[in-house]
Structure 1
Amino acid sequence: MAASDGDAPGFMDTRPKQPHYHGHRTRLRARFRDKGADALEDYELLELLLFRSIPRQDTKPIAKALIARFGSFTEVLAAPPKLLKEIKGVGDSAIDDLKIVHASTLRAARAKVASRKPLSSWNAVLDYCRAAMAYAEREEFRILFLDKKNGLLADEVQQRGTVDHTPVYPREVVKRALELSASALILVHNHPSGDPTPSRADIQMTRQIADIARPLGIELHDHIIVARGGHASFRGLKLI
């Protein structure tokens, strides 16, 4: 009886072997489909995202390096491209995919705010502001302009500053509110330091805006500071 190929002396399997990570990718995708994102760690969710942009490389070490560098899935999405590029294995394609997902999450969060009255969907407002600003490298000053029924008229970034300061001009804020026929404002800015505690300058500026806006029939509902460490509400702290 002739020996089978598997038993033949000196037989060499010349079929190309699948990289070791192919089976891992299949299992991870299956777990995501069966159990959802909550069943995955942050680095595993990143792996899934990186599969398409890095098809011929094991993405687990890259995902873990990103989490180690930036802290969380959300912070990786928000990280500046120049810093993402410092991670070995992360190129332009991967950065594009990360930024597309980040932009998509911001758009979805903003849609929740725009489709409802911000004052009646406060958690949606906080989620949107944190996603948009909490992980930025520099301070940004954003204003939500509201109509008479507290619907969202406009959402605008008025100023961008340094790591610890943004110049804000109260009269310009109120002037813009008048141009939009806004009846109320919600001010938002971020603290890149990670601590949302209002500074003395934050408090002074907020009160100046309130004092200028009030006689013109424009109400300042709140000033929110967002940061990696959480958020602070001036209304909640009884600072306005």
Structure 2
Amino acid sequence: MKENKILVFNNKNNIDMNLKIVSLPPIQDSTKSTNDVDIDGADGTLTEFNKYTSDIKPVECDYQGNDPDKIVRWLRGKGPVIFGNRPDRFYNAEIVNPIPINQIIENQLYNFLVQFKCQPFGYLLDGQDFRTITNGTILNHNKADYISLPIITIYGTGSCIVTINNRNFTITEIGTSITIDSSIQNCYAGKENKINGPYPYLDIGENLITWTGTGVTKVEIKPNWRCI
């Protein structure tokens, strides 16, 4: 299969920036952080999983043009990055190496490396829009392979109990609307004290979402489907 050598960083792509992509990062799972634990009376060790860690994803580039400052301004800082060999998802990334502008200026055509330090999960692009759901909606995504941390907005008045796959959280006062962001474990507009219970997450596979509360008029959810 021919590799699609496209790079999109902070919503700008390499083609519009007159930059040729020579190679993209290999497709692989995020790196695991583990501990080896000795067990008394048993040979060997037990490996305990801690978490997934950030990875350096290198991109090799060729530049030919007369505005290297434009490239340097683009390839700095933080933002979402999409690699052409995984075009269905973005990674939250930071560029951790300086772009050698002096060598670009001297050579006019120069090969260099950009190192993206990527947070461990890829976020599927089709999980980034809010959708209105009805009571009893089942959400599923056949590519998501890790629990996902949604953003949920509830409209209406009064209180409600929201259930996702038998896990409940309670909103004590909607107050016209309330937004629950599980990725930062917070409610918007100073409503942190209006939620009781654990912040919601979406399982791999099917997620049945129901709620009780006569004052609820609408529920919207941004799934934030993610992959290892």
Name which structure has the greater RCO, CA cutoff 8 Å, separation 6+: 2
User: Based on CA coordinates, which of the two structures has the bigger radius of gyration?
Assistant: 1
Could you state the TM-score of these two structures normalised by the residue count of structure 1? 0.28
Higher share of residues assigned strand:
2
